[in-house]
Amino acid sequence: MTGVDELVGLFPPGTRLADDGMLVVGGCRLDEIAGEFGTPVLVVAEQAIRQRAREYRAGLTARWPDSQVVFASKAFPCTAVQRAMVEEGLWIDVAGGGEIVTALAAGVDPATLVLHGNAKTTEEIQLAVEAGVGTVVVDNFDDIDRLETVVPSGLEQGCLVRVIPGVQASTHAAHATGHEGSKFGLTPLVAREAIARLQRSDRLRMDGLHTHVGSQIMVAEELAAAVEPLAALGRFPVYDLGGGLGARYTYADHPPSLDRYLDVLIDAARAHLPADARILIEPGRSMVASSAVTLYTVTTVKPGTTTFVAVDGGMADNLEVALVGQRFEATVVNRVGGGSQPVTVVGRHCESGDVLSENVPLRDAVVGDLLAVPATGAYCYTMSNNYNGARRIPVVFVADGQFRLVVRRDTWPDLLSRDVAP
């Protein structure tokens, strides 16, 4: 039987049990949130996000004063999250036109935006330049062609060249980006050509280099291994070392601590990079994963060789399981901890792969129970969809015993809003 403390430890920091056993996140009872907003609903502990941002910023600055934390907003591109990050002093990494739009709506200074993408369109580059995006990460020569066409004469667009460091990370293949053959970035040999071309341009400014090993990485040394290949390309004002630190989703996950990660990374920077350079890092998953929990209602319990507990959500609000096999835990919100018989929690969508958690011990789940799945702050909102006509779920911020809606649930008319045929 899973220990209550062990399970609660997967929820946002500060989560506790009320006297009647109900889970309380951000000072708010989860049953009251479900009663107010329905289910499924994504509950975000705002102070957990802000505290993590402060820890990242303080930790990096203490080790390398001329540095900047850039939130990889693709992990949670909600305007309320982007706004909180900026209020805590972070820059924002955007991976396309839509994330530029949400960041600007959140009040982000466009000069602090870093635009990524292996296949940026002319429209996106035009949007970025017109908005005043401070840094564009060049992923290919077509990026350079488009930028030189779009950037007006007399202006200068800051650029970084993305370099493939040749690091094979021990993560899911879909999360690995720094290995030879990656679709992202340029090999060091080809990167030299891109650097030279940017240095010759009268409209593009060669600020430095960018690299990224991947995501959900549990070995700090793999992340630090990308530093030396950058240094071999020369001295530049800026080195963006990417993100990738893993998050804790299950009892078995033990990612490096933030201090451990920063120690190893900055030790490598001190060994290989110019002391007067600016260092950027781009945390995403490790910034927000543990900040949120998704609430569901149990709709059916089907006993058999495998007992299936089905809920009113699934792969429309959490695609991580079907996409990369990510493991999540779960609990009934007022009977926290494991029961004697494991069950498989499944969603409502017409796919056998619509599984939220296999072989998870629940304490006597019945129809109508509220079920909580922790560590859903990264990529769940990002990849939410309308499969089977599902309405995308609301996002609720909780802090100091108060809750507020920051993203509403789709309405039925929303599902028809883009139709143009009679």
Q: What is the DSSP string of 108-124?
A: --GGGEEE--SS--HHH
pLDDT at residue 341 in the model: 84
Query: Maximum Cα–Cα distance for the chain, whole Å?
Result: 71
Assign 1 a pLDDT band (cuts: 50, 70, 90).
very low
Model confidence pLDDT, tens digit, residues 82-114: 999 999 999 999 999 999 999 999 999 999 999
d(CA 153, CA 70): 29
258 contacts 13 by C-beta, under 8 angstroms: no
The pLDDT assigned to 155 comes to 92
Residue 300 sits at φ, ψ, to 5 deg, of: -160, 150
The share of the chain scoring above pLDDT 90, in percent, equals 91
Query: Mean pLDDT over residues 149-154, rounded?
Result: 94
* 47, containing H or E segment: helix 46-63
The predicted model gives 326-347 an average pLDDT of: 92
Q: Structure tokens of 385?
A: 């969809």
Q: Are 277 and 238 in contact (CB under 8 A)?
A: yes
Mean pLDDT over 316-330 rounds to: 95
Identify the pLDDT of residue 187.
95
Distance CA(329)–CA(272), nearest Å, equals 41
- Coil/strand/helix, residue 396: strand
Residue 170 has pLDDT above 90, yes or no: no
Q: Which domains, ranges and CATH numbers included, belong to the chain?
A: 4-45+289-416 (2.40.37.10), 47-287 (3.20.20.10)
What's the rounded mean pLDDT across residues 261-290? 98
Q: How many angstroms separate the CA atoms of 53 and 73, rounded?
A: 13
Question: Is residue 157 within a helix (H) or strand (E), and if so which, with residue range?
Answer: strand 157-162
Average pLDDT over residues 338-360: 93
Token readout for 308 is 């299936």
Q: Per-residue pLDDT tens for 190-211?
A: 999 999 999 999 999 999 999 9
Cα distance between residue 55 and residue 154, in whole Å: 40
- Residues 6+ away with beta carbon under 8 Å from 23: 8, 11, 15, 16, 17, 29, 30, 331, 333, 334, 336, 372
> DSSP code of 173?
G
Quote the pTM value.
0.95
Based on C-alpha coordinates, what's the Rg of the chain?
22
Provide the annotated active-site residues: 350
Alpha-carbon torsion (30, 31, 35, 39), positive or negative: positive
Q: What pLDDT is recorded for position 70?
A: 98
| Residue 383 in this model has a pLDDT that exceeds 60 | yes
**Burial (Cβ within 10 Å: 0-12, 13-18, ≥19) of residue 381:** buried
**Sheet arrangement for strand 23-25:** 16-17, 23-25, 28-29
152-177 average pLDDT score: 87
**Beta carbons of 318 and 64 less than 8 angstroms apart:** no
Return the minimum-mean-pLDDT range out of 62-71, 105-114, 216-225, 370-379: 216-225
Mean pLDDT of the chain: 95
Average pLDDT over residues 113-121: 97
Averaged over 111-118, what is the pLDDT? 97
Considering only residues 311 and 184, tell me which one the structure prediction assigns the higher pLDDT: 311
3-state secondary structure of 273: coil
